[in-house]
Structure 1
Amino acid sequence: MSKAQKKMAIVIGAGAGGIATAARLAKSGFSVTVLEKNNFTGGRCSILHHEGYRFDQGPSLLLLPKLFREAFYDLDTSLEAEGVELIQCPTNYEVWFADGEKFELSTDLARMKKQIERWEGKDGFQRYLAWLQEAHQHYELSVTEVLHKNFTSWWDLANPSFVLTGLKLHPLHSIWNRASKYFWTERLRRVFTFATMYMGMSPFDAPATYSLLQYTELAEGIWYPRGGFHAVLDALVKVGERLSVEYRLNTPVKQLLTTSDGKTAKGVILESDEIIEADVVVVNADLVYAYNNLFPQTSPIKSHGRSLRERDSSCSSISFYWSLDRKVPELKTHNIFLADEYRESFDAIFARQSLPEEPSFYINVPSRIDPSAAPEGRDAIIALVPVGHLLQSKGFLKSDSGILRDQDWPSLIAYARRSVLSTVSSRTGCGPLSEYIIHEIVNDPFSWESKFNLDKGSILGLSHSFFNVLKFRPSTRAKGMKNTYFVGASTHPGTGVPIVLAGAKITTEQILEDYGLRVGWRPHPSQILDQGVPQNRETRSLDRVAPSERIWYLMLAIWFCVAVGFGGYYMDII
């Protein structure tokens, strides 16, 4: 495609989805400009700094590494070629309980066996392996049948082959229900269900399908990019820039530029009133915010935007970023502190949209896995306390539930801080953690809302409840607005950085299909190894796949039945 023939694309937002989509469109021949309201790229995957301390503002662990490798592979490069080093955490999590016990989640099967049998008895490990097998099926089917497919019509959902696949994903069961089948103690049911916090959901509501999250941790490990999570997205930015993507930071968008009937996008209008025209607009801003603030408020779009605000949203968080004057060796890289009243702690967040009296929370110590995150001999600590989202969208009427915007937030934040500090000190025996903090940064629901335009401060966008996934989830092609597409947490396939990267591929391929253009990346992942290189090696005799003995028995049984049938027929005619 010559420069004169190039289609112009604008991407609103430089989060994970926007960065990956921009690079893919540029590789496909588009002239791409990314417009970002902040002075940094990465969105929630950005970095906070303070005098030698470094904190991941959002995600602090890398899961589903194959989806990251796929994004780079499709752009004719790799994580390694771009200088990104992934470090595997030796322990996935240390899970701390109120009764003084703890459980260490790990990819080490021997260590897992010993711990599981301690709590569940000798047959407990066998049940764990059965759970792992089910979670493996959830993982494999989700990657192939959901994360790499778009759902543009109801037939995609009703197709008999997908229905059969869907049943294997146990979408009508909760993660807690399925875990209770395999784990008989309350302790281990908690250990194998808390990961729903990644999606901002309660384990008592989240579909069982999402056991794939803890499966990938246990089968593939938890990884950390040296230099912080933003290192991965910064590498994708550089790949995009090599493909001539233009990034404009500190450039907020006021609204879409449309045709006179308000039904077709032809560019954007910036807050500065500058107009930029384009053939395609990709929205990586929060979807609910975009429909209600960036789109022209014609009757159909206004109604749709209002309905989106009433959908189930993920939780918000009060996140603390602490600079310590010493190390706290009692803490691992990733630590989970579970409330004694486990179910009540989730009900307070997701049923009543509040802060639990006794919160469960996550502690990350990036300097434990990557010493460059803090000065020598000191630790950087991130504490994430899930809380309900805000009661209402900014500037709009109340929804049914949420935390009041005029809540006494200083008191609420202080209570969350006291709860975290006292719980960590009492359960780990690390001493008075509060006395080690020399600097603090705080993000609360208002921070998430103002920094990233997240509707109601919901840190993970729309929920993943049953009627918020697949065809029920807002589509990648904008409703009521031609030439406009979405990528990010609240559109298909869903939230979480690796899922959003998969979504960037889906969105880009939809754009290319709509414009009759060729998809320019090679088949993946079946033709590459974990290292991201093609499987072109010779297949030797020892590597040939032989049929199972079961197949031979089945073939013999079929032959016998056929033989008996023919024999009976022959006897009848003579």
Structure 2
Amino acid sequence: MSTENIKKRIAVIGSGFSGLSAAAYAAKSGNEVHVFEKHHQPGGRARQFKTEEGYVFDMGPSWYWMHDIMEGFFQDFGVEADDFFKLVSLDPQFEMVFSEEKIAIPQKNDEIRELFEKTEPGAGRQYDRFMQSAQYKYEVGMRDFVTKPCYSWLEFASLKIAASAVKLDLLSNFRKYVSGYFSDPKLRSLMEFPVIFLGASPQNIPALYSLMNYGGYVLGTKYPMGGFYQLVLAMKKVAEQQGVIFHFNHDVRKINTDNGKVTSITIDGKDHEFDAVIASSDYQHTETLIPKSLRNYNNAYWESRTLAPSCLIYYLGVKGKIPHLKHHTLFFENELDDHIDCIYKNKKWPSKPLFYACCPSKTDPDVAPDGCENLFLLLPLAPGIHDDEATREKYLTEMIGRIEKHTGEADLISRFEYKRSYCVSDFISDYNAYQGNAYGLSNTLSQTAVLKPTIRNKKIKNLFYTGQLTVPGPGVPPSVISGKIVAAEVSKLKIK
């Protein structure tokens, strides 16, 4: 019997999407897997909370895109998403508000094409060309390119990937790519906005990521009834069906090593022995749990990285309905570049911000009391920026004012039945997030694939990292893929 096939005792630190995925796949391979989570519930940034008034808030992710990737996870375990929750398609998928008009993106692709043609003559045909190329990138990128452990560029030397290199547009920037298809600034904004989720300016994102447009617009925007947290619960259930054991309110304070190997982890002053550790906790924080001499990266390295944004979030329970607000609304009345420069160049609070509003009660009656609205507001920010209550409130007032203008409603603030804010300092205290980042590490060309922080500790052979600060990058589907990649590497690990 090979040593790779010996049952290993594996600890997974954190139960975000990458941790849930890693735990499920590692257990499926026949290992004994324990997940340690500092909070009282699973999900990490995708946790959920309920209020006394009857509101149910998803704390983080709210865009259910690339549902085929999520379905692939469940199919790997012989089940389907439908076994756990009901997924509905949103129509319109979302609405984008500009200074002079608003555009709603329909559910059906042919209707999106008609919308583009109406906005700019010839853009319908260009949309088809764009999405045809995006589909190719999606199918190659999400199934071949982003599934590598990224130890070496040689992993990408397969005939399929090599033959696809030019068509994947790895070296051209996304903004230039989009402008080659569309002239109308509104259409350009519609095509550029998805890469904001990747944590960088469209000028610094490889055109490969037009695959996001296909994974969103063409495959459609979905919503799991009961909230995004239903995906967390479903993945936890799958993991438990593989034998994974979850330990909540367990904060790992130290990773103990000896002779180049992890021997145990320390929780509440007690050491727990394991054959391997998978850290889905924040990468930089995880490395503070081991001696400096054993870390992959020093402080100077992290300071030199381009982080994805942090954000200001408000969870609001609103009495009465807001008739003209959609499930997803993007408020783009101001210049995208001005806001982006405040995140990546000037690192300050934006003077003319863009923001996103999610109102899931439009689709799901169970997330708010009868006749009320569940409102989630998100404003991207520079990581590491100082936040205080007065500043948060200032931006809340501005966001609400723009929602009132858009919907024709008046004095929404007086209708708040519940209010909670969440910002940079909260990401730090709750998730040990480096500089309070919300989305991990930006997917810039200089931080793609092999150029990302490695999934394996270079000096400790049985310590691995997963999640949005390593490959393949930020977002829910990439985090799920990240967990699968790392679980496969741990399964190859030889133990004595």
1:418 alignment counterpart: 397
1:139 alignment counterpart: 138
Query: 1:163: Cα distance to partner?
Result: 4.4
Paired amino acid for 1:59: P
1:338 alignment counterpart: 332
2:270 is aligned with 1:274: yes
Q: Report which stretch shifted further, 27-36 or 207-216.
A: 207-216
1:180 alignment counterpart: 179
Residues 139-158 of structure 1: per-residue CA shift (max 9 Å, x gap):
11211222222222232246
Task: Map 1:376-525 onto structure 2 (within 5 A).
Answer: 376-390=370-384, 403=385, 405=386, 409-515=388-494
Q: Please give the secondary structure, in 2, of the residue aligned with 1:204.
A: helix
Q: Report which stretch shifted further, 430-439 or 273-282.
A: 430-439
Task: Map 1:309-388 onto structure 2 (within 5 A).
Answer: 309-388=303-382
Q: Which runs of 5+ in 1 are unaligned?
A: 391-402, 517-574
Greater gyration radius: 1
Instruction: For 1:455 and 1:484, locate their aligned partners in 2 and report how far apart those are by CA, in whole Å.
Output: 20
Structure 2 contact 323–407 (Cα < 8 Å) conserved: no
Residues 502-533 of structure 1: per-residue CA shift (max 9 Å, x gap):
111111111122349xxxxxxxxxxxxxxxxx
Structure 1 contact 358–419 (Cα < 8 Å) conserved: no
Q: Report which stretch shifted further, 378-387 or 90-99.
A: 90-99
Paired amino acid for 1:295: I
1:47 alignment counterpart: 48
Q: 1:303 to 1:181 in 2, by over 3 A?
A: closer
2:105 alignment counterpart: 105
Instruction: For 1:75 and 1:303, locate their aligned partners in 2 and report how far apart those are by CA, in whole Å.
Output: 35
Paired amino acid for 2:412: L
2:116 is aligned with 1:116: yes
1:237 alignment counterpart: 236
Query: 1:14: Cα distance to partner?
Result: 0.8
Which segments of structure 1 move beyond 4 Å, counting only runs of 4 or more? 157-161
2:250 is aligned with 1:256: no
Instruction: For 2:412 and 2:97, locate their aligned partners in 1 and report how far apart those are by CA, in whole Å.
Output: 16
1:550 alignment counterpart: none
Residues 162-212 of structure 1: per-residue CA shift (max 9 Å, x gap):
444233222222222111111111121111111122122222322222121
Query: 1:361: Cα distance to partner?
Result: 0.7
Paired amino acid for 1:126: R
Q: Please give the secondary structure, in 1, of the residue aligned with 2:216.
A: helix
Structure 1 contact 22–240 (Cα < 8 Å) conserved: yes
Instruction: For 2:62 and 2:77, locate their aligned partners in 1 and report how far apart those are by CA, in whole Å.
Output: 25
Q: Report which stretch shifted further, 423-432 or 302-311.
A: 302-311
Instruction: For 1:514 and 1:501, locate their aligned partners in 2 and report how far apart those are by CA, in whole Å.
Output: 21
Paired amino acid for 1:31: E
1:96 alignment counterpart: 97
Query: 1:239: Cα distance to partner?
Result: 2.1
2:206 alignment counterpart: 207
Structure 1 contact 12–36 (Cα < 8 Å) conserved: yes
1:529 alignment counterpart: none
Structure 2 contact 97–333 (Cα < 8 Å) conserved: no
Q: Please give the secondary structure, in 1, of the residue aligned with 2:82.
A: coil
CA RMSD in angstroms comes to: 1.9
Q: Please give the secondary structure, in 1, of the residue aligned with 2:187.
A: helix
Residues 200-241 of structure 1: per-residue CA shift (max 9 Å, x gap):
222232222212112112211111111111111212212222
2:226 alignment counterpart: 227
Q: Which runs of 5+ in 2 are unaligned?
A: none
Task: Map 1:20-31 onto structure 2 (within 5 A).
Answer: 20-31=21-32
Query: 1:159: Cα distance to partner?
Result: 6.3
Q: Which has the higher contact order (CA 8 A, sep 6+)?
A: 2
Instruction: For 2:379 and 2:247, locate their aligned partners in 1 and report how far apart those are by CA, in whole Å.
Output: 33
Structure 1 contact 323–440 (Cα < 8 Å) conserved: yes
TM-score normalised by L of structure 2: 0.95
Structure 2 contact 201–340 (Cα < 8 Å) conserved: yes
2:289 alignment counterpart: 294
Instruction: For 2:165 and 2:172, locate their aligned partners in 1 and report how far apart those are by CA, in whole Å.
Output: 12
Query: 1:411: Cα distance to partner?
Result: 2.9
Residues 354-397 of structure 1: per-residue CA shift (max 9 Å, x gap):
2211111110011111111101111100000001110xxxxxxx
Instruction: For 2:65 and 2:435, locate their aligned partners in 1 and report how far apart those are by CA, in whole Å.
Output: 27
Instruction: For 2:39 and 2:191, locate their aligned partners in 1 and report how far apart those are by CA, in whole Å.
Output: 37
Q: Report which stretch shifted further, 419-428 or 157-166.
A: 157-166
Paired amino acid for 1:34: V
Structure 1 contact 15–41 (Cα < 8 Å) conserved: yes
Query: 1:303: Cα distance to partner?
Result: 4.9
Residues 475-502 of structure 1: per-residue CA shift (max 9 Å, x gap):
2222322101111111111111111111
1:33 alignment counterpart: 34
Aligned-pair identity (%): 27
Instruction: For 1:109 and 1:8, locate their aligned partners in 2 and report how far apart those are by CA, in whole Å.
Output: 48
Structure 1 contact 359–419 (Cα < 8 Å) conserved: no
Residues 34-75 of structure 1: per-residue CA shift (max 9 Å, x gap):
111111100011112212101110101211111111111112
1:536 alignment counterpart: none
Structure 1 contact 325–438 (Cα < 8 Å) conserved: yes
Paired amino acid for 1:191: L
Structure 2 contact 334–353 (Cα < 8 Å) conserved: no
2:61 alignment counterpart: 59
1:154 alignment counterpart: 153
Paired amino acid for 2:74: F
Query: 1:160: Cα distance to partner?
Result: 7.2
Instruction: For 2:242 and 2:214, locate their aligned partners in 1 and report how far apart those are by CA, in whole Å.
Output: 36
2:72 is aligned with 1:76: no
2:288 is aligned with 1:285: no
Q: Please give the secondary structure, in 2, of the residue aligned with 1:168.
A: coil
Paired amino acid for 2:411: P
